[in-house]
Amino acid sequence: MTTPSPEIGQRIVAAGIETNVHDMGTGFPVLMIHGSGPGVSAWANWRLVMPALAEQARVIAPDMAGFGFSARPDGYAYTMDNWVAQAIGVLDALEIEQADLVGNSFGGALALALAIRHPQRVRRLVLMGSVGVPFEITPGLDAVWGYTPSLENMRALLDLFAWDRTLVNDELAQLRYAASIRPGFQESFAAMFPAPRQRWVEAMASAEADIRAIDHETLVIHGRDDRIIPLANSLTLAQWIDRAQLHVFGRCGHWTQIEHAARFARLVGDFLAEATPESTH
């Protein structure tokens, strides 16, 4: 008998997309949206912090269309409009009227766009190493989005992600490489971010005026030594969003939730616990 993969949660239909979603814990819902690395899934991104946050909240972590174990429909347009519709569809399918949002990198851009378009569906906002504002694409992000499958390429990417190289061992590289070559994974990934890739940075950005109009309590988190998404992004978000607070982890790359998992879970848990279920934003 084969052991089921921990990356597989339950299947729901969200905005017409068969969606793999993890749903654990009780309390006020928190929707956690993963990043856009090759072979990524919600579980791969959030596995170290979901159990801690699930002690106080209902943690919802979907694989977005084109990633992980959610559907990859033929002809599907991988656009922010469609991803936002899917995220709202997850909430609708689970009959959740309002949730806290935690977005990592690409997921931060998605969380921003969702909060702008559907403010009443969001209570509090957490943006981690976030895309969503204009910036010149880094060599690191260009390498991530331009990944072609090989163990050597995956190892090189993981070295870019983490400040602490001891986190990047051969076993992790093999696991993430194996994930990136599952049927359909690389095909959808390559279709999302073809060169030139600066245009995808811009396609994910929300308008400055819209970001400045956000009135949700927002926690902005970044690794000081991030080589994928520049720290300047989070400084910008913290300046533009009126009710923002900023936390920067030193000795940390793009993997805040992995490199500083316990601190990340406490920081986010405390921030979300400040709100009462009845409060909106």
Residue 168's pLDDT is: 85
Residue type at 220 in one-letter notation:
V
- In percent, the amount of the chain with pLDDT more than 70 equals 97
Look at the pTM and tell me if it is higher than 0.75: yes
**Annotated catalytic sites, by residue?**
105, 226, 254
Residue 169's pLDDT is: 87
Sign of CA dihedral 129, 133, 135, 140: positive
Report whether 105 contacts 38 (CB < 8 A).
no
Alpha-helical (H) ranges within the chain are 42-46, 50-53, 80-93, 106-117, 139-145, 151-161, 170-180, 185-192, 198-204, 208-212, 231-240, 256-259, 261-273
- List pLDDT tens digits, range 77-130: 999 999 999 999 999 999 999 999 999 999 999 999 999 999 999 999 999 999
Residue 39's pLDDT is: 92
- pLDDT < 50 regions, the chain: 279
Edge-to-edge strand list for the sheet holding 99-104: 10-14, 17-24, 58-62, 29-33, 99-104, 122-128, 217-223, 244-249
Tokens of 211: 């970001």
- List pLDDT tens digits, range 198-220: 999 999 999 999 999 999 999 99
**In whole angstroms, what is the distance from residue 54 CA to residue 220 CA?**
21
